[in-house]
Amino acid sequence: MKNHFLYILTIFSSICFAQGSISELLKTHNSESIPYITVQELAIPKTEAILLDAREISEYEVSHIQNAIHVGYDDFDIDAVAEKITDKSSKIVVYCSLGVRSEDIAEQLNNAGYNNIYNLFGGIFEWKNNDLTVYNNEDEPTENVHAFSKKWGKWLLKGIKIYD
C-alpha cells in the first residue's frame, strides 16, 4: 500500500510539475497583458478566429497551424496586418513556439486598436503536444515541428524537432 501511494504521488507530482512548467515559463517572460486561449478552447470545437503566426518564416515553412497567416516577429509590420484584417473587432489568436513572442505581437495589435485578441497558451508546441495537426509550407500535414532552439525545444514533446 505504501509503495502504491508513493507511485501515485510520484506520477501526480511529475504531471503537476510538467503542466506547471510552461505556466511558470510564461509567467517569467510574459506580462499577461493579452488573455490566453488554450489549445482545447481553440480546437475543440474549432473556434472561428483569424490565426496569426508570430514566428520567423523559416519556422512557419517547417510547421504551422492550418490557415494561419504568417506575420513574423523580427519583421512584423502592423500596416501589412491592417491591410489584411480591416475589422478591428475580429477574433484574432496569435501564436509562436510557446507564447512569448506572440504576446509582443498581440500587444502591438492591441495598441493599433484591435480589441478581440488572444495569445495561444503554449503556442504551436502545445498544439502539437495535444496531438493536433501541423502543416508544412505546401500545406500538407507533417510531423516536423520547428523547435526554435535547443533551450526552447525541450518543451516540444511530440513530433520531430527541426532546427535551422
Q: How many CB atoms lie within 10 A of CB 17?
A: 10
16 in catalytic set: no
State the amino acid at position 159 in one-letter form: G
Catalytic entry in 81, 92, 93, 96: 96
Angle at 133 between CA 42 and CA 70, to 5 degrees: 70
| Residue whose C-alpha is closest to residue 97's, from 131, 67, 127, 77 | 127
Residues with a known catalytic role: 96
